């Protein structure tokens, strides 16, 4: 009786990815003149690994630069069997590299490498996501105070939060083209990085976040109600100002409209991703379109309405111990690392 399709697929994938006994898979191939079944499987295996390695390198160019081509190719050959592609869309492949690197002993001499990978995947992921209609000030103002406090906002699907104890954004920027000076200028003791990575009109932007702002957005992303998220932000940063942060987010369209139940955050500095033709050489302050371009009484009315919303929540929060949780600040970097685009000496060659 012929093997079931699922079993045939399992045998072939095992032969291709695990480099185990290929006898069962080879027996499934029709005989042809010239190459035997084992040799044909080997050719297919090589093509599979080469294609997936190239796809991984395209998503993680900075990781590849940091470790060198030879090390990255060997790393990819370890990663592919551990996290094989499970989607018909090649854009979905490679999401787990940051997780993989955290347990990859040959790369432990570069402890910031997993977070660099996380940043590169965030850029890749948001670039291929489409935004949904954004939350408007009018929709938020139409809710009463209790409804606002209980609101659970979500980030736009084309946005990702990232926090690292390392200066990963500076490190990423230093590996964009000819940026040797930027690499030498990295402050490894500067307290880390908090970012919202977001795509807008097919451009990837990095939005630098304060401690309280990041805690607020992280809490919202994790499903906390707006009041509870504000409480956590105040624990992380007693100077957190909800009205100003909320207004920035509304201007940027970072949150999904209420009927999409989704949320986002507010940038202070935006950098254009070079994929979209931007200049990676330094921060470029930008303002969002729409509300940010308003002038006169309309602008003042919007800011006043937002201040009222923030005031309602602030008055409910600052005396409410129940919504206050624990939030620890990022730890500062205390170690120095090589400042060179040359791969770290410990990573030269094949890690096997």
* 76-121: pLDDT as tens digits: 999 999 999 888 899 999 999 999 999 999 999 999 999 999 999 9
| Under 8 Å between Cβ of 219 and 226 | no
- Are both 92 and 55 inside the same structural domain? yes
Q: In terms of residue numbers, what domain contains 50?
A: 1-110
- Are both 17 and 164 inside the same structural domain? no
User: Given this model, what pLDDT does residue 290 score?
Assistant: 29
User: Given this model, what pLDDT does residue 87 score?
Assistant: 87
In a domain, residue 242? The reply is yes
Q: Is the pLDDT assigned to residue 180 strictly greater than 80?
A: no
State how far the Cα of 55 lies from the Cα of 80, in Å rounded to an integer.
11
Q: Is the pLDDT assigned to residue 228 strictly greater than 90?
A: yes
Q: Is the pLDDT assigned to residue 216 strictly greater than 90?
A: yes
User: Given this model, what pLDDT does residue 6 score?
Assistant: 75
Residue that finishes a domain, picked among 110, 130, 160:
110
| Under 8 Å between Cβ of 52 and 80 | yes
State how far the Cα of 101 lies from the Cα of 98, in Å rounded to an integer.
5
User: Given this model, what pLDDT does residue 189 score?
Assistant: 87
State how far the Cα of 214 lies from the Cα of 209, in Å rounded to an integer.
6
- Are both 72 and 127 inside the same structural domain? no
- Are both 239 and 291 inside the same structural domain? yes
Task: State the average pLDDT for the chain.
Answer: 76
Q: Which one, of 261, 348, 243, lies nearest residue 302 by Cα?
A: 243
Residue that finishes a domain, picked among 61, 90, 110:
110
Q: Which one, of 40, 43, 45, lies nearest residue 20 by Cα?
A: 45
- Are both 225 and 283 inside the same structural domain? yes
Average pLDDT of span 251-264: 72
Q: Given pLDDT bands bounded at 50, 70 and 90, which one contains residue 237?
A: very high
- Are both 217 and 84 inside the same structural domain? no
Which residues, listed in sequence order, are joined to residue 195 by a DSSP beta bridge? 162, 208
| Under 8 Å between Cβ of 152 and 223 | yes
In a domain, residue 184? The reply is yes
User: Given this model, what pLDDT does residue 183 score?
Assistant: 81
- Are both 248 and 329 inside the same structural domain? yes
- Give pairs for 304-309: CB < 8 Å, separation 24+: 305/137, 305/141, 306/137, 306/243, 306/246, 306/247, 306/250, 307/243, 308/141, 309/140, 309/141, 309/148, 309/243, 309/246
Question: Beta-carbon neighbour count of residue 184 at 10 Å?
Answer: 10
Q: Is the pLDDT assigned to residue 139 strictly greater than 80?
A: yes
Query: Helix, strand, or coil here: 4?
Result: coil
- Are both 175 and 321 inside the same structural domain? yes
User: Given this model, what pLDDT does residue 2 score?
Assistant: 55
In a domain, residue 316? The reply is yes
Take residue 139 and report the two structure tokens written for it: 């929709």
CA distances from 283 to 173, 207, 271 (A): 10, 10, 5
In a domain, residue 341? The reply is no
User: Given this model, what pLDDT does residue 190 score?
Assistant: 84
In a domain, residue 340? The reply is no
pLDDT tens digit sequence for 144-176: 999 999 999 999 999 999 999 999 999 999 998
In a domain, residue 350? The reply is no
pLDDT tens digit sequence for 39-74: 777 777 888 889 999 999 999 999 999 999 999 999
User: Given this model, what pLDDT does residue 342 score?
Assistant: 45
Q: Is the pLDDT assigned to residue 244 strictly greater than 50?
A: yes
Q: Given pLDDT bands bounded at 50, 70 and 90, which one contains residue 19?
A: low
User: Given this model, what pLDDT does residue 262 score?
Assistant: 36
In a domain, residue 307? The reply is yes
- Are both 127 and 217 inside the same structural domain? yes
Between vectors from CA 272 to CA 266 and to CA 275, what angle results, nearest 5°?
135
Q: Is the pLDDT assigned to residue 293 strictly greater than 60?
A: no
Global model pTM greater than 0.85 = no
- Are both 85 and 186 inside the same structural domain? no
Higher pLDDT, 344 or 270: 344
- Are both 197 and 268 inside the same structural domain? yes
User: Given this model, what pLDDT does residue 20 score?
Assistant: 61
How many domains, the chain?
Answer: 2
How many percent of the chain have pLDDT more than 90? 52
In a domain, residue 155? The reply is yes
Q: Given pLDDT bands bounded at 50, 70 and 90, which one contains residue 283?
A: very low
- Are both 69 and 142 inside the same structural domain? no
CA distances from 273 to 5, 170, 261, 323 (A): 44, 13, 27, 37
């Amino acid at each position: 009786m012929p093997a079931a399709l699922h079993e045939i697929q399992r045998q072939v994938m095992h032969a291709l990815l695990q480099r185990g006994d290929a006898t069962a898979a080879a027996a499934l191939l029709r005989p042809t003149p010239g190459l035997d079944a084992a040799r044909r499987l080997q050719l297919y295996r090589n093509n599979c690994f080469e294609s997936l390695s190239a796809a991984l390198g395209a998503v993680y160019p900075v990781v590849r630069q940091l470790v060198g081509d030879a090390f990255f190719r060997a790393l990819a050959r370890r990663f592919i069997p551990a996290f094989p592609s499970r989607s018909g869309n090649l854009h979905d492949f490679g999401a787990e590299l940051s997780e993989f690197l955290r347990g990859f002993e040959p790369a432990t001499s570069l402890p910031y490498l997993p977070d660099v990978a996380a940043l590169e995947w965030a850029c890749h992921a948001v670039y291929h996501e489409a935004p949904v209609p954004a939350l408007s000030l009018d929709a938020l103002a139409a809710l009463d105070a209790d409804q606002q406090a209980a609101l659970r906002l979500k980030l736009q699907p084309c946005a990702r939060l990232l926090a690292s104890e390392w200066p990963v954004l500076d490190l990423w920027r230093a590996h964009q083209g000819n940026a040797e000076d930027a690499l030498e200028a990295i402050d490894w003791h500067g307290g880390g990085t908090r970012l919202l990575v977001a795509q807008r009109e097919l451009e990837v932007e990095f939005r630098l976040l304060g401690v309280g702002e990041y805690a607020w957005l992280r809490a919202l992303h994790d499903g906390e109600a707006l009041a509870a998220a504000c409480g956590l932000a105040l624990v992380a940063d007693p100077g957190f100002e909800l009205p100003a942060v909320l207004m920035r987010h509304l201007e940027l369209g970072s949150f999904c409209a209420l009927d999409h139940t989704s949320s986002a955050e507010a940038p202070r500095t935006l950098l254009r991703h070079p994929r979209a033709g931007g200049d990676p050489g330094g921060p470029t302050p930008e303002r969002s379109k729409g509300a940010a371009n308003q002038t006169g009484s309309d602008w003042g009315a919007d800011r006043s309405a937002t201040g009222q919303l923030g005031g309602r929540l602030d008055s409910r929060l600052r005396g409410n111990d129940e919504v206050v949780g624990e939030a620890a600040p990022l730890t500062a970097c205390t170690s120095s690392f090589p400042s060179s685009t040359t791969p770290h000496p410990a990573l030269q060659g094949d890690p096997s």
